[in-house]
Structure 1
Amino acid sequence: MDNYKVVLVDDEVEVIDAIEQRIHWDILGFEVVGSATNGVKALELVEKQQPDVVITDIKMPYMDGLELARRLNKEYQNIHIIIFTGFDEFEYAKEAVHLEVEEYMLKPINALELTECMKRLKKTLDKEREERLNVTKLENYLKDSLPVLQTNLFVSLIEGRVNEEYCEKFLNAYQIDIKGPYYCCAIFHTSEHHVPDGMNPLLLAMSVEHEIKDRLAPEWKNHMFTYLGNALMIIELETEEMVVAFTDACDRFCKWAYRVMGAVVTAGIGRVCDNLISVNSSYDGAREAVSYRVLYGTSRAINIGEIAPKEQEILIQPEDTKMHDLFKAIHLGVPETLEQSVRKEVEKLHNNAQTVNQYNLAIMEMVGAFYRFCANNFIDFNEFCGNVGNPYERVPEMDESTLTAWMIDSAKAISEELKNARNSTSRRMVTDAQNLVHDRYMEPNLSLDTVCSALGVSNSYFSSVFKKETGKAFVTYLTDYRMDHAAELILETNEKSYQIAERVGYLDANYFSYVFKKRFGVSPSKYRTEHLKK
């Protein structure tokens, strides 16, 4: 497998260069994937690179090594931390031990000492990786699956086969404590096509389920089981809004599973419901969310309530269930899949009809299904059926090839309309976020978290949509907007840097100057001098 990733953090660039050059990282089984000169930049780098090890100094500007260690322990508990410093103080060492730091080393760093430290750490990391992928351990875990009766009840719930009269009876009989008041279903789909060498796909899926129980499940009141090869979780929520935080937690897990285990996991999050009997509708939404991985990518969480607003749900009448695959393909919008689905429908149509009357009746039902599907998604089918006039009259007269071509063209047109509606929703969300920045950029606590909270969406979904629409990360957009406004204030007023810093949302004048120089290449005072001369 690949070398373990290391990030170096020290405000002295010379120290970073020396460590990077004097240690034979590749021979030791490590790779330095980046470096940072303070804790703030280090957190950004950790989010991007997802390292296994962070080696950091203690005393640094903006965010010291101990605060960085606290943040890493809270947000990335699997990362191993090595702290070094030139300050030989017992309190630092005691705090470092409290933070479960791997090693505490004094400057100047001895290459031999650090090499031995990395050798010990390599053994620890190898052991952790081996434990996660140990076939014997996974086979034993497979035998310890959830009790059969409980699993059967949960399966019956998501399939909609339990009525309200008997639900409470079964819950009590099987000793299942589930109170709500809100419920949501999540599906964790592990790809069978991306499996580490020598690993059985089934065992990898069970390993993922085991890690979900260890890392994700303890944070949420949930009931977990396996169904159709996927790990499912029914979670209980105090409020409907809590599903946003749950989505972000699932997203972090999916990224961790890919980085550490090599497993490609997609989490589909269904809609929140206020009745356990209705959890089957949440399960249906979770299944649809997983299918959207062809559009939004894998190794992430996809919340159906975010990507498909209420009016964009796949609404299908009971009599249209036979065309579910076609309607699902229309929503996904993948041309190849859509054409295949149309050809299958036409083939079934001709194979099943024994008489002309049966064929005409089936055609009428198919056209009716299209009308209902469009109506349920708030669009007019007449606008997407070409120049055929009245489909009920013209479509039965078409031969097989003409019918196939007409259905493909109509389906693609409907799919494009749904896609435009989704894009419009995404653009509206980005515009709302930009307006929040314009109105509240002067507030020091304005951040990705506060904006997502105001919009009611998860960080993962918002971040991907914002970058896709604007070409830059939200934090970069916020920083650029603040800096552009600061530049205007520098030239239009006589205020000092610390006053301007406060007006654009920075309580620390030194950090403001650092960010300003990073953006414009000069300090605020020099920026004023240079531009006022012109």
Structure 2
Amino acid sequence: MDKYTVLLVDDEEEVIQVIMKKINWEGLGFSVIGYANNGVKAFEMVEEFQPDVVMTDIKMPYMDGMELAGRIKEEFPATKLLIFTGFDEFEYAKEAVHLEVEEYILKPVNSLELTNVFTQLKIKLDQEISEKRNTEILQKYYMESLPLLQANFYSTLIEGRIMEGDLPKYIEDYQISLKGPFFCCVVIHTSSRQVPKNMNPVLLATSVQKQAMERLGGKWHPKYFSYLGNTVMIAQLKNENEVSDLTDECDRFCRYASRMIGAVVIIGVGQVCSDILELSQSYNGAREAVSYRAIYGACRAINIKEIAPSETGRAVTANDAELSELFKKIRIGSPQDVTEAVDKYMDRMSFPDKSLQYHHIAVMEMVSALYRFVSNNDLVVEEFSGDTRQLYSNLLDLEPEALRKWLLDISFLFRENLMNARSRSSKSFVFRAKEYIDNHYFEEELSLDSICDLLGVSNSYFSTIFKKETGQSFIGYLTSYRMEKAAHLLLETAEKSYMIAKSVGYADPNYFSYVFKRQFGVSPSKYRTEQEEK
């Protein structure tokens, strides 16, 4: 990493300007990405930019430096913290050792002292990055990963090849603890095409697996193993609703992996199950979710229950690789992909040396598989709503080219229906969220977490859909909505600002004034005066 990013936080802008000018940031290997004049704005910038270092004062409005440091350490533990403060707060600051602050610096800031601090911090950051990318450490870890017997058990489990009667013996012999009571399979896919320069793709995937074990452990009591080029995690949940938290945590990890080690990671989250032997269905769902990166993008977690609820646990069972590939392209491929998959299937189906009996069986299998696809995905298709025997009979009379055209047309129809269903689902989420804001904007507790709990989806999925549909983040939309309501109240009533603040969901009138000014460029009182004068 050539340069590390720094965020400066102080409510006195002149202090920040002095610090920015006194230090040769580029020479030290750092760049200042910006500054904030209060803790609330600073935390918003940390969420957006994830700086390597945050240097903050203690006394600030809305959220002081100690609370800011605590929240950063909780949600972004890799971020280094520096606190600079006045003499009378110095001992108080040093008592907060649990925040793992790198250094406490007394005001006024001395340029020599600050240069020394950042010099040492650069060395520490370089060592941490080097350790994560060190080829020898990764090679050793790769050779000393999960024991062979346990890895073989987990692989066999997700393949669905373990019989119920054999399960207790496997668990006892291999000393495996899967207490649940609920389970969820997670597939961590690391791109082998998009890798940092001079990095071996296998070692990069190993590094991702190691980082996942460190950052996604604990709460989920996970079991990790490698399978078909991916890392698979079996998470243990206390209840089914925890899958939304799991998805959000996986989503944060994808962004972390991209930033820290340059890996492009997609995580698929399968459906929750209460029986260990159902993990094979959860794995199929997680693997299917990874395929949806073509629609939802990379460097993120995708929960199959959120994007394709009707498909979970219903894997295609047709004994035909080409037909299974066609169904996959219908779900996530382009029109060209669908056409190529149809051609490939028809080539296999229409060999001239095949008997008429074989052709009849092949058409029957195709109709059965298509019917299952319609049923599994809750599609409404006229040709599959009646007697399938009549459809089968009609198709037998078609010449090869006509049969190919029929299959291509029906595949495009399936694809269009699925795309429309996803669009309707996305619009439904957004409509319900907007409707809820309209009826509850005055509640101080209204937040991204609360709306996601209400809708039963993860923060990451909802945020993606909401921004895609509205062009704004949920918090940005809620803030704008509240400010518009406040502006109307200022003009239509004689209420004091602090009462209006409370009526639009702000308990702190000072923070309300700060947000209002950021929205309209003037304070609430001045806004009222200016509008009345017009």
| TM-score category (smaller protein) | over 0.9
Partner of 1:228: 228
Offset of residue 448 of structure 1: 0.6
What amino acid sits opposite 2:216 in the alignment? L
Structure 1: segments with no counterpart, 5+ residues: none
Q: Does 1:82 align with 2:90?
A: no
Q: For 1:26 and 1:340, locate their aligned partners in 2 and report how far apart those are by CA, in whole Å.
A: 52
Partner of 1:40: 40
The alignment's TM-score, normalised by the length of structure 1, stands at 0.94
Moved more, 392-401 or 78-87: 392-401
Partner of 1:215: 215
Over the matched positions of the two proteins, sequence identity in percent amounts to: 52
3-state SS of paired residue (1:271): strand
Q: Does 1:526 align with 2:526?
A: yes
Partner of 1:267: 267
Query: Does the Cα contact within 8 Å between 1:384 and 1:413 map onto a contact in 2?
Result: no
Query: Does the Cα contact within 8 Å between 1:315 and 1:377 map onto a contact in 2?
Result: no
Offset of residue 402 of structure 1: 4.8
The alignment's TM-score, normalised by the length of structure 2, stands at 0.94
Offset of residue 158 of structure 1: 0.4
Query: Does the Cα contact within 8 Å between 2:304 and 2:312 map onto a contact in 1?
Result: no
1:100-499 residue pairs with structure 2 within 5 A? Answer: 100-310=100-310, 315-319=315-319, 323-351=323-351, 354-382=354-382, 392=392, 395-396=395-396, 401-499=401-499
Query: Does the Cα contact within 8 Å between 1:132 and 1:261 map onto a contact in 2?
Result: yes
Query: Does the Cα contact within 8 Å between 1:257 and 1:263 map onto a contact in 2?
Result: yes
Q: 1:132 to 1:312 in 2, by over 3 A?
A: closer
Moved more, 87-96 or 114-123: 87-96
Query: Does the Cα contact within 8 Å between 1:315 and 1:373 map onto a contact in 2?
Result: no
CA RMSD of aligned residues (A): 2.1
Moved more, 455-464 or 317-326: 317-326
What amino acid sits opposite 1:521 in the alignment? G
Offset of residue 171 of structure 1: 0.7
Offset of residue 405 of structure 1: 4.2
Q: For 1:337 and 1:31, locate their aligned partners in 2 and report how far apart those are by CA, in whole Å.
A: 44
What amino acid sits opposite 2:413 in the alignment? A
What amino acid sits opposite 1:260 in the alignment? M
Q: For 2:360 and 2:194, locate their aligned partners in 1 and report how far apart those are by CA, in whole Å.
A: 46
Q: For 2:337 and 2:92, locate their aligned partners in 1 and report how far apart those are by CA, in whole Å.
A: 60
Q: For 2:353 and 2:46, locate their aligned partners in 1 and report how far apart those are by CA, in whole Å.
A: 61
Q: For 2:399 and 2:88, locate their aligned partners in 1 and report how far apart those are by CA, in whole Å.
A: 87
Offset of residue 429 of structure 1: 1.1
Q: For 1:352 and 1:108, locate their aligned partners in 2 and report how far apart those are by CA, in whole Å.
A: 88
Query: Does the Cα contact within 8 Å between 2:271 and 2:313 map onto a contact in 1?
Result: no
3-state SS of paired residue (1:183): strand
Q: For 1:95 and 1:310, locate their aligned partners in 2 and report how far apart those are by CA, in whole Å.
A: 53
Q: 1:444 to 1:173 in 2, by over 3 A?
A: same
**1:426-472: CA deviation from partner (whole Å, max 9, x where unpaired):** 11111111122122211111111111111111111110011011110
Aligned length: 531
Query: Does the Cα contact within 8 Å between 2:322 and 2:344 map onto a contact in 1?
Result: no
Offset of residue 98 of structure 1: 3.7
3-state SS of paired residue (1:310): coil
What amino acid sits opposite 2:206 in the alignment? M
3-state SS of paired residue (1:272): strand
Q: For 2:21 and 2:403, locate their aligned partners in 1 and report how far apart those are by CA, in whole Å.
A: 68
Q: 1:353 to 1:402 in 2, by over 3 A?
A: same
Query: Does the Cα contact within 8 Å between 1:370 and 1:381 map onto a contact in 2?
Result: no
Structure 2: segments with no counterpart, 5+ residues: none
Partner of 1:515: 515
**1:492-528: CA deviation from partner (whole Å, max 9, x where unpaired):** 2111111111111111000001111111111111111
3-state SS of paired residue (2:475): helix
Query: Does the Cα contact within 8 Å between 1:271 and 1:304 map onto a contact in 2?
Result: yes
Query: Does the Cα contact within 8 Å between 1:375 and 1:381 map onto a contact in 2?
Result: no
Q: For 2:353 and 2:20, locate their aligned partners in 1 and report how far apart those are by CA, in whole Å.
A: 73
Q: For 1:391 and 1:447, locate their aligned partners in 2 and report how far apart those are by CA, in whole Å.
A: 52
**1:129-158: CA deviation from partner (whole Å, max 9, x where unpaired):** 010011111111112111111111111110
Offset of residue 312 of structure 1: 7.4
Query: Does the Cα contact within 8 Å between 1:333 and 1:419 map onto a contact in 2?
Result: no
3-state SS of paired residue (1:241): helix
3-state SS of paired residue (2:153): helix
What amino acid sits opposite 1:171 in the alignment? I
3-state SS of paired residue (2:95): helix
Q: 1:479 to 1:380 in 2, by over 3 A?
A: closer
Q: For 2:466 and 2:313, locate their aligned partners in 1 and report how far apart those are by CA, in whole Å.
A: 22
3-state SS of paired residue (2:231): strand
Offset of residue 376 of structure 1: 2.8
3-state SS of paired residue (2:444): coil
Q: For 1:102 and 1:394, locate their aligned partners in 2 and report how far apart those are by CA, in whole Å.
A: 76
